[in-house]
C-alpha cells in the first residue's frame, strides 16, 4: 500500500516521513526534481536531482507516476524507479493534493491512502521561522496553502491533528499505527 503524507508547509510531514523510514523500516519513495540540492541534501537520499532534459526524457518514457511543477521546477515520483511494488509492500511518500489524486487515479483508492497533517498556522509560522525560512516566503506560503489545502480534510483517509506540544516521535507513532491498521 502507498501511504501519502500531505500537509501545509512546515507541518512536519517530511520529518515524520524520515522517522517512519528510519525507525519503522517503511520504504520511502524518493522524488525526482530539477531543483538544485539544498545544503546537506544528498542525491538519491533526499531527492534524485536531474537536469531538465533528463527529467523530460523520463517523463516522456512514462516513468513517473505523478508530476508537478512548482516555482518553475519539476518534481516527479516513480514507484518503478524506486523498486516499489505496492500491491506487495508498503511505501511512504510526501505528496501534494494533486500528486495524491494522480497516484489514486493510477493505482486506485484501495492501494493509495492519504494522511493529512492538520496544523494551526501559528505553529507553522513559528516552525518556519525557527528553521530560518524567509519571513516573506513564509507569509506567501501560508496564504497560498489556505487555497491549496481547502479540500484536504475531505479527501483524506486520515486527518492527523497536530498540536503545539506534539513531538515528531509522537506524530510518527500515530502515523505508523495507522499504517499498521490498514494492513490487518
Mean pLDDT over the full length of the chain: 93
Q: Which CATH architecture has domain 30-83?
A: 2-Layer Sandwich (3.30)
CA distance from start to end of the chain: 12
CB of 17 closer than 8 Å to CB of 93: yes
Instruction: Give the H/E segment covering residue 139.
Output: helix 135-148
User: Is residue 9 scored above 80 in pLDDT?
Assistant: yes
Burial code (b: 16+ CB inside 10 Å, e: under 16) for 45-69 equals: ebbbbbeeeebeebeeeeebbbbbe
pLDDT the model gives residue 132: 83
pLDDT the model gives residue 137: 86
Q: Which CATH architecture has domain 1-28+90-184?
A: 3-Layer(aba) Sandwich (3.40)
Alpha-carbon distance of 115 to 117, in angstroms, equals 7
Please give the average per-residue pLDDT across 132-149, as a whole number.
88
Amino acid at each position: 500500500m502507498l501511504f501519502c503524507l500531505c500537509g501545509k508547509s512546515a507541518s512536519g510531514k517530511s520529518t515524520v516521513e524520515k522517522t517512519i523510514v528510519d525507525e519503522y523500516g517503511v520504504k520511502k519513495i524518493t522524488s525526482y526534481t530539477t531543483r538544485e540540492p539544498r545544503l546537506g541534501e544528498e542525491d538519491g537520499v533526499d531527492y534524485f536531482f536531474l537536469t531538465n532534459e533528463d527529467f523530460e526524457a523520463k517523463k516522456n518514457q512514462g516513468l513517473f507516476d505523478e508530476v508537478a511543477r512548482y516555482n518553475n521546477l519539476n518534481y516527479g515520483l516513480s514507484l518503478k524507479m524506486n523498486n516499489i511494488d505496492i500491491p506487495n509492500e508498503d511505501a511512504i511518500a510526501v505528496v501534494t493534493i494533486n500528486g495524491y489524486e494522480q497516484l489514486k487515479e493510477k493505482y486506485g483508492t484501495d492501494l493509495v491512502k492519504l494522511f493529512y497533517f492538520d496544523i494551526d498556522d501559528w505553529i507553522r509560522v513559528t516552525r518556519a521561522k525557527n528553521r530560518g525560512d524567509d519571513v516573506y516566503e513564509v507569509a506567501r506560503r501560508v496564504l497560498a496553502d489556505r487555497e491549496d489545502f481547502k479540500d484536504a480534510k475531505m479527501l483524506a483517509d486520515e486527518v492527523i491533528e497536530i498540536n503545539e506540544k506534539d513531538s515528531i516521535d509522537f506524530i510518527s507513532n500515530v502515523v505508523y499505527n495507522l499504517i499498521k491498521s490498514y494492513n490487518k
